[in-house]
Structure 1
Amino acid sequence: MRRRTALAAGLAWSAAACAEAPPRLRVGFAVGYAPFSEIGSDGQLKGFEVDLAQQLCARLGLQLGQTILDFDGLVPALQARKIDAIMASMSITPEREQVIAFTAPYYYSPVRLVVRGDARFEATPAGLQGRRIGVERGTIHERFAAETFKRSQVLRYATQDQVFLDLKAGRLDATLVDAVIAQFGFLKQVDGRGFAFAGPDFSRDTRYYGKGIGVGLRKADAPTLGRRLDEALAALRSSGALKALNDRYFSLDLVTPPR
């Protein structure tokens, strides 16, 4: 089969399994990213990236295999062949492109600081001097905060949900996070009352935040699985399905490339 020849190096399936069911694409997700990926009240994984992964697999004739990991464990799991792809709001940056490959971007998101609405400091390196900024470990936010807010105390957490909990409890003065994740996962929730965005959109610094959010892949799989995923993404974009999925979750257009 042509599909098996092209993807056997990257997908977890056997000839025997192929006779019974489509091959499986094992995608790594990181929860705590509502509405991108989160655990619902029924215990099932849900969100924009989960739905997009389902649509991509349907286009490719694959079954979706879901693996939930901490964000900083995704690339090691990919390299160890425990998963085949990453869909976890991972920015395409030159630093990461030295280690793994990416598809074309499937969404773009601003990056903001979140602070108490009555905070009496400016959202600048000088204003945050000596203050505590929470970030999720292994993200671009961690590196950006450490190198930009050098006189602040940058605290690392396993998940963004843990950051929000400490921000609410007063153990942090700010968090640096994707604005959409902050809006839906915190500011629109009960725990986020009294908090607000502060400062500029830091994602405009392409030295750190790169080209957008893409599917992460092993470099060896870029000519095969990567090419097919890019074709599927292009088809979803041209058909309007990607924009329809965006509109199901967001009031902002996150999928149209910025000009």
Structure 2
Amino acid sequence: MRFLARRDLLLGLGAGSALTLAGCGGKPAGAGQNGAARVEATKTLRIGLEGTYPPFNYQGADGQLTGFDVEFARALAEQMKVKAEFVAAPFAGLLGALESGRTDVVVNQITITPERQAKYDFSKPYTVSGILIITQKGKGGITGPADLAGKKVGVGLGTHYEQWLRQNQPKAEVRTYDDDPTKYQDLRAGRIDAVLNDRLVAADFLKTAPDLVAAGPPFAPQSQGVVMKRDPALKVLIDEAVDALRADGRLAAISQKWFGQDVTI
């Protein structure tokens, strides 16, 4: 299902951007160069994202790639005076695409963690969020993280939520998923007891899911940044662009458009 969705994305691209699939054959543009040098030589910033992760990056009703991360990434590229080229991959493959040189950065709400910082460079944060527990309405029994002990909990494979659950609630039964729809199907069918997800994603999703509810307030505050391989020069360029978007109000404006509040601070 997710691969078909990405194929459909190839048919409807936003103006001034392109979308390819991570792992496609052929040498990437600027082969032999890395990071800032490749971006400068090609005047293109290759941006890894899922493309099926509303409200951050997904195909809209008009067939165009849209979402908070998409608009932020386009503004980032514009500020850097380069073209945005989007490269779709499953979440679990995003960092692999980065390591293989298929992308220059990943813009997909990647949480900044010490483990990831030990291997990759991150930009300054561009969103701040937290974890939310989602359960079936009327089920009860779960009101916070402590109640997840002994419960079957669905999380995205390779996500911060999986890592948090394994480290902080070892008595929970972890169920991993490659996509959001499947884990919510399992939640509705009673195959799992709860789902962990980003509070911003959950708030948007729950608007159209009256049978599901937030079980307690968000917890474990987290910041998200642009991810890249170790490259001090590229990090400087990305950080300068993020600072510029924040200073002139463009970052806050994009946030207000998608969430009705500033989720970037």
- 1:215 maps onto 2:226 in alignment: yes
| TM-superposed deviation, 1:125 | 5.6
Deviation (angstroms), 1:11: 6.1
- Are positions 1:201 and 2:218 aligned together? yes
> Bigger CA drift: 170-179 or 193-202?
193-202
Q: Identify unmatched segments of 5+ residues in structure 2.
A: 1-32
Q: Indicate conservation of the 8 Å contact 1:125/1:150, yes or no.
A: no
C-alpha distance 244-124 of structure 1, shift in aligned 2 (>3 A): closer
Structure 2 contact 48–107 (Cα < 8 Å) conserved:
yes
Change in 2 beyond 3 A, CA 1:226/1:99? same
From 81, 95, 102, the equivalent of 2:122 is 102
**Do structure 1's residue 249 and structure 2's residue 258 form an aligned pair?**
yes
Deviations 1:59-86 (A, max 9, x none): 1111111111111111111111011000
Unpaired runs of 5+ in structure 1? Answer: 1-7
- Residue in 2 aligned with 1:131? 151
In 2, the alpha carbon distance for the partners of 1:11 and 1:82 equals 14
Aligned counterparts of 1:91 and 1:80: Cα–Cα separation in 2: 21
TM-score normalised over the length of structure 2: 0.81
| TM, length-normalised to structure 1 | 0.83
User: Which residue of structure 1 lines up, in the alignment, with residue 73 of structure 2?
Assistant: 53
Instruction: Classify the secondary structure of the residue corresponding to 1:127.
Output: helix
Identify the match of residue 239 of structure 2 among 215, 219, 230: 230
Question: Is residue 180 from structure 1 mapped to residue 200 from structure 2 by the alignment?
Answer: yes
Q: Which moved more, 1:50-59 or 1:118-127?
A: 118-127
* Aligned ranges 1:108-123 → 2 under 5 Å: 108-123=128-143
Distance 1:53 1:131, change over 3 A: same
SS in 2 for 1:72: helix
Once the two structures are aligned, what percentage of the paired residues are identical?
33
- For 1:195 and 1:129, the matched residues in 2 are separated by 20
Matched, 1:10 2:35: yes
After superposition, the Cα gap between the structure-2 partners of 1:33 and 1:175, relative to the gap in structure 1 and judged at 3 Å, is same
Are the aligned partners of 1:12 and 1:26 in contact in 2 as well (CA < 8 Å)?
Answer: no
More strand by share: 2
Report the 3-state secondary structure (helix = DSSP H, G, I; strand = E; otherwise coil) of the residue aligned with 2:74: helix
Number of equivalences: 233
Coordinate RMSD, CA, aligned = 2.1
Could you tell me how far 1:14 is from its partner in structure 2? 9.6
Say if 2:133 and 2:144, in contact at 8 Å, map to a contact too.
no
